[in-house]
Amino acid sequence: MRSSPFALGLVAALSLSAVALPAVADTHLEIQGGRSYMDTHGTNVFFIESVFNPYQIGQSRFTWSPDVSVGYINGRNIQRYEFSQPGVTNNVWLGAAGARFHYGTDSDWYQPLFFSFQVAGTAGGHTQALSSSYQFVSTLGWQMKNVSFQIRHISNGSFKEPNRGETMALVGIGFNL
């Protein structure tokens, strides 16, 4: 019997979580929602993201934190892509892991600004925006204690066409575990 892509993604996400359990005391958990656009066509998205304990990079003022997330991008009904392969109606789940980078100390006004980069796998089918099973996730954001604002782009880096990508604005509500 063949496993579904969703089940495989869920197993991968749970495995990543189990590996990260020792760092759970320093984990920031966040629920994010917003609107994503492929070309000019919007849809709803949500993510659950965990950011772990930061580590200083050498003697620099940069820090990095392990970062894992699970996300959902709702399908669209766009007549122009009705007969395209892949289409745009599939709902897509993503599981991603990477790093979040900050610059400065806790007392610097710009320290809440961050950039993150993740590698993601998808489940639930392909779309014009996300046409392969692997994706790259880049995020620029502002992380306050319990609220974040982010601009995120997800794409396969033109390794497979079509590659329209998803660009989204997200607002997150989070807490420290």
Predicted local confidence at residue 68, as pLDDT: 97
For residue 16, pLDDT beyond 90? no
Q: Which CATH number goes with the domain that contains 142?
A: 2.40.160.20
Q: What percent of the chain has pLDDT over 90?
A: 72
For residue 42, pLDDT beyond 70? yes
Contact 133, 121 (CB under 8 A): yes
Predicted local confidence at residue 87, as pLDDT: 87
Structural domains counted in the chain: 1
Contact 22, 36 (CB under 8 A): no
d(CA 85, CA 88): 9
Tokens, residue 54: 């930061």
CB within 8 Å of 97: residues ≥ 6 apart: 16, 66, 67, 68, 69, 118, 119
Where in the sequence is the domain holding 112, given as residue range(s)? 5-176
Question: Model confidence over 136-162: pLDDT tens digits?
Answer: 999 999 999 999 999 999 999 988 888
Question: Model confidence over 102-128: pLDDT tens digits?
Answer: 999 989 999 999 999 999 999 988 999
Predicted local confidence at residue 2, as pLDDT: 46
Contact 37, 164 (CB under 8 A): no
For the chain, the residue count is 177
Cis bond before residue 112 (omega within 30° of 0): no
